[in-house]
Amino acid sequence: MISWSRHFPKWKYPLGYLRLRDARQRYFDRIGLKRDARGLRIGIVPGDERKLAALKNSGKGRRAFVLGNGPSLRNMDLSALKNEITIASNGAYKAFQEWGFTPDYLLFEDIEQTEIRGQDIRNIYGPLKIAAIYNAHGIARPWNDLLFMNARLADEAYWTDPGIQFSRDFSHSVYLGSTISYIALQLAYHLGCDPVYLIGVDMDYGPLAEQFPPGKIHVSEENIDLVNQAHFTKDYYQVGDVIGIPNFDLQNQAFGVARTAFEDAGRRIYNAGIEGKLDVFDRVDFHSLFPDKS
């Protein structure tokens, strides 16, 4: 299925289609040229599905931090996360230099969000970048340090029948929860991490959410200040971008599903952020997690 947004330029459709085709093909193992100890030869080229499967339990016995993009991050010193397993998303790359470290994983799922950042993505170095297959049309090549995940594109029926689901095998399928942080939790589960701490997941868009209902809006000169207030950096979006006003009811439902999945596996998720309105998870003090830093 072709899923580019109505804002994607029509003159890019042919290239977008080729990218989507290539992303679907590279998700599975295939016959092709591969380089090994014997040089370049024809053989089985591992697909992205296999590469994601290889990450299973690679973080077992370690904790992980999922970074949202909320304004509370402005008031946090994140340098302590340098040696932790970290999962970020979307425009987080704008702060890598300021944070003093590069997250291990950088996720993209939202179609408009990825189209906006499609040219930037290829110039982000350090994290393993993971995007939904249906984002491929908007992501400029090369894709050397990017894997595609098999995310289940949501429609209206998804939220009610069968309802929000949680993947216990990130390499096979990934489910939406109205926020990229929900996908990050599925990745953390796949990595085997325990516990998992959320920071910067503020569940609060401030005046912007009061002015606009959940859904897509254009960033304009009139609302850019409100958009800036809802994120950790003032240049997270630009005038002319298309952004989503979150549905916090759906997000809370999804986080509840994630909490149940982790607890069923004997693991825990905590909110280690400051401020914000995320109350699905028990709160812990961020600084208490780094006693050597105090």
d(CA 261, CA 35): 40
218 token code pair: 């254009």
Helices (H) and strands (E) in the chain, counts: 8, 11
Model confidence at 43, pLDDT cuts 50, 70, 90, reads confident
Whole-prediction pTM: 0.95
Strand, coil or helix: what is 293? Answer: helix
- Helix axes 248-264 and 180-191, enclosed angle (nearest 10): 10
Q: For 151-196, how does the pLDDT look when each residue is reduced to its tens digit (9 = 90+)?
A: 998 877 888 878 899 999 999 999 999 999 999 999 999 999 999 9
- In the predicted model, is pLDDT for residue 98 greater than 80? yes
CB 137 within 8 A of CB 16: yes
Model confidence at 1, pLDDT cuts 50, 70, 90, reads low
According to CATH, what is the number of the domain 48-289? 3.90.1480
- In the predicted model, is pLDDT for residue 31 greater than 90? no
Beta-ladder partners of 31: 44
Query: Considering only CA atoms, which of 198, 160, 195, 156 is closest in space to residue 181?
Result: 198
Predicted pLDDT of residue 294: 58
278 token code pair: 């995320």
- In the predicted model, is pLDDT for residue 91 greater than 90? yes
Average pLDDT, the chain: 94
